[in-house]
Amino acid sequence: MEFGSDNQAGASEKILEIIAEANTGFTHGYGDDHWCNRAVEALETFFGHPLTVFFVATGTAANSLALASLVKPWETVLCHHHAHIYLDESTAPEFFTGGARPIPITRNAGKVTLRHLENYFATLAQEPPHTPACRALSITQANEAGQVYTAEELRQLCSFAHGHGLNVHLDGARFVNALVALRCSAAEISWKAGVDILTLGATKCGGLAAEAVIFFNRDLATDFAQKRKRSGHLISKGRFFGAQFVGWLQDNHWQELATHANTKAAELANALEEFPQITRQWPCQANEIFITMPRQLADTLHQQGASFYEWPSLALPRDVTLDKKTCFVRLVTSFLTTDEHISRFCTIIRNNAC
């Protein structure tokens, strides 16, 4: 009953095997090796676009380095009110950008919408050098509320952004979960929609520690190698990253893993429909479920071995207020989630309800 986070699972067998394969013998260090080259080629095939790619070990590094390619220290990045870059990565965006400012523009909304952007610009003070200038939009796919942006939604957001002088960063920690949900091509929800930089995470979906910062807009990559090195994110035995991405992309391994996670989430969400004391707050679109439930039930579940996190009420939809007996909870499934996890979880709820 491990619904805490998709990073509580290890790496997939297949990815471990390819790491072992890549480990043999000598290579050049620092990413200048056969495996990294193969990984970049595989990514170019995956996206159908020439790419500039850099690998790092964590999502925080990937996101922050991407933002540092978009804004100067006196500029701002618009984001969702509970974006990972805003709430869960300390002040890493400020650290890597040299002090640029993330500005949340939604509140209690499932997704960033055109309306949020329009409102923001309608009331914005623009008096440089006094006011920081807005220069980037960062969105997450699948997002902080487990929601998936359609290709059309992304196109509209990117188009508005570009029209207002902003470049667009897509935080793709769960990009493949969105991809599986949308049944479209990777291209349609990235460069074709107008995304400039994608941070593509394999870690949450079968990798060990593997994130790729992918520049569709390759001019933005100019200083990236310097920034990565200087922040300690250039690993010496670089083939470790290359191998993971080769394995992840080979034979659509990513798809198999993400499909499993999404399917289990859908099944769990479905099963929870049965319980009137549980309310789902947003549709389950990828591999995350956001629900409210009696606090006493949550306690029971924890006591009986279920793993999941209470979520900040800041993230609740606008019209929902929480009384003290109720709590807001996130459930995440992964490539390792089993039917038994789900059925045991439901059994506890069923027994508790009686």
Q: Which residues, numbered 4-43, are part of the site for a second copy (CB under 8 A)? A: 4-5, 7-11, 16, 19-20, 22-29
Taking the CA atoms of the chain, what radius of gyration do you get in angstroms? 21
Distances, alpha carbon 298 to alpha carbons 41, 256, 308, in Å: 46, 31, 9
Binding of a second copy by 165 (CB under 8 A): no
Binds a second copy by CB under 8 A, chosen from 61, 212, 257, 272: 61
Binds a second copy by CB under 8 A, chosen from 239, 253, 260, 330: 239
- CA 163 to chain CA centroid, Å, is 25
What is the footprint of a second copy within residues 185-204 (CB under 8 A)? 203-204
Residue 8 or 347: the one with the smaller Cβ distance to a second copy is 8
Residue 196 or 211: the one with the smaller Cβ distance to a second copy is 211
Binds a second copy by CB under 8 A, chosen from 184, 209, 266, 278: 209
For the CB of residue 110, give the shortest distance to a second copy in the complex, in Å: 16
Site map (CB under 8 A) of a second copy, residues 292-331, x = contact: ---------------x----xxx-----------------
What is the footprint of a second copy within residues 99-158 (CB under 8 A)? 99-102, 122-125, 127-132
Binds a second copy by CB under 8 A, chosen from 80, 174, 228, 264: 228
Helix (H) or strand (E) holding 332: strand 326-332
Binding of a second copy by 230 (CB under 8 A): yes
Site map (CB under 8 A) of a second copy, residues 245-284, x = contact: ----------------------------------------
Q: What residues contact residue 174 under an 8 Å CB cut-off, 6+ apart?
A: 6, 140, 141, 142, 201, 204, 205, 286, 287, 288
For the CB of residue 152, give the shortest distance to a second copy in the complex, in Å: 29
Size of the site for a second copy (CB under 8 A): 82
What is the spatial distance between Cα 334 and Cα 338, in angstroms, rounded to a whole number?
Answer: 9
Binding of a second copy by 92 (CB under 8 A): yes
Residue 4, burial from CB neighbour count under 10 angstroms (0-12, 13-18, 19+)? middle
Q: Order of strands across the sheet with 133-140? A: 52-56, 211-215, 197-201, 167-172, 133-140, 75-79, 101-104
Binds a second copy by CB under 8 A, chosen from 114, 115, 237, 318: 237
Residue whose entry in the numeric block shows the structure tokens 């389950």: 284
Question: What are φ and ψ of residue 183, in 5° steps?
Answer: 50, 40
For the CB of residue 48, give the shortest distance to a second copy in the complex, in Å: 29
For the CB of residue 61, give the shortest distance to a second copy in the complex, in Å: 3
CA–CA–CA angle 147, 153, 157 (5° rounding):
110
The single-letter DSSP state of residue 163 is H
Contact 105, 112 (CB under 8 A): yes
What is the spatial distance between Cα 166 and Cα 299, in angstroms, rounded to a whole number?
Answer: 45
Stretch in the footprint of a second copy (CB under 8 A) among 53-61, 110-118, 257-265, 342-350: 53-61
The H-assigned helical ranges of 69-167 are 84-87, 92-97, 114-122, 151-163
For the CB of residue 216, give the shortest distance to a second copy in the complex, in Å: 22
Which residue, among 190, 237, 186, 169, has the nearest Cα to 209 in the 3D structure? 237
What is the footprint of a second copy within residues 66-85 (CB under 8 A)? 72-76
What is the spatial distance between Cα 250 and Cα 247, in angstroms, rounded to a whole number?
Answer: 5
Binds a second copy by CB under 8 A, chosen from 234, 268, 286, 329: 234
Residue 192 or 341: the one with the smaller Cβ distance to a second copy is 341
Residue 154 or 268: the one with the smaller Cβ distance to a second copy is 268
